[in-house]
Amino acid sequence: MGASDPTVKTKPAVAETGADTDTLLQTRDLRKQFGGLTATDDVDFGVAEGELRCLIGPNGAGKSTFLNLITGQLEPTDGAIYYDGWEITDLSSHERVDRGISMKFQVPSIYPGLTVRENLRVPLQQVADPSEFDERIAIAVDRFGLADHVDESSSALSHGQQQRLEIAMAMTLEPKLMLLDEPVAGLSLEETEEIADLLRTINDEDDVAFIVIEHDIDFVESIADRVTVLHQGDIFTEGTIESVRNDPDVRRIYLGEEE
């Protein structure tokens, strides 16, 4: 196919950053300082299209700061962020959502005064015609195990159901990259397994890439393609969960074990 073929997407950032062509997100020398504290220390980080990556590290390692830089909730002190072939460093959070980056926080950001159906209508209003709402809501509640609760107040749902509702809301925006900050914190083992299954299914069927911050290593093991360990604002190591779990240096910094 020639360069004039409109179906061929040029990816200027690939040449600029040296990233692989299947790289969806790439940061270069990304830095965030809060006064004298360096929370993100010149990080070069890449995620491939359709990859499910977990981000782990001790408290204060800079995980949430890093995710907030990617969503645009925080402005970097220095460095650049590339997404889907384009530099997005100066785009607003809203513009990043429009391009397919979605974020789910630890505390479900659903509307407790609204029913499940009404909650799902909120993001749908941004992307669909009202005539499509009923059908799309029916598909979503079926897929996310909420069909029996569609007209219940979302405040009456269990914590696990609320997490699923929020993931369902994020998925209506048809993201290419979903960022999750501790999605199973406070959930039971059964609810945690449900979320793990859901994320793997979305990842397989919709080809959505994920960056998931999580402290629960068993959960990480059950979902991650690769794991990145952050420590003191920088990447300490990356690899499979097995290699990371068996790395004595990771055990020392992450699990607090002395050598």
Q: Point out which residues bind ligand ATP (CB under 6 A).
A: 34, 37, 39, 57, 59-65
Question: Which of 84, 214 has the CB closer to ligand ATP?
Answer: 214
Distance CA 250, CA 54 (A): 15
Residue with tokens 């914190």: 185
Q: CB of 178: closest distance to ligand ATP in angstroms?
A: 18
Q: Are 93 and 109 in contact (CB under 8 A)?
A: no
Question: Which of 82, 236 has the CB closer to ligand ATP?
Answer: 236
Question: Which of 19, 224 has the CB closer to ligand ATP?
Answer: 224
Question: Which of 76, 123 has the CB closer to ligand ATP?
Answer: 76
Q: CB of 259: closest distance to ligand ATP in angstroms?
A: 22
Question: Which of 49, 234 has the CB closer to ligand ATP?
Answer: 234
Instruction: List Cα–Cα distances, 21 to 9, 139, 178, 225, 227, in angstroms.
Output: 11, 33, 20, 18, 21
- Residues 6 or more apart whose Cβ sits within 8 Å of residue 82: 13, 16, 17, 19, 23, 25, 26, 27, 28, 88
Rg of the chain over Cα atoms, rounded to whole angstroms, equals 19
Q: CB of 152: closest distance to ligand ATP in angstroms?
A: 32
Q: CB of 227: closest distance to ligand ATP in angstroms?
A: 14
Tell me phi and psi for residue 7, to 5 degrees: -80, -10
Q: CB of 176: closest distance to ligand ATP in angstroms?
A: 24
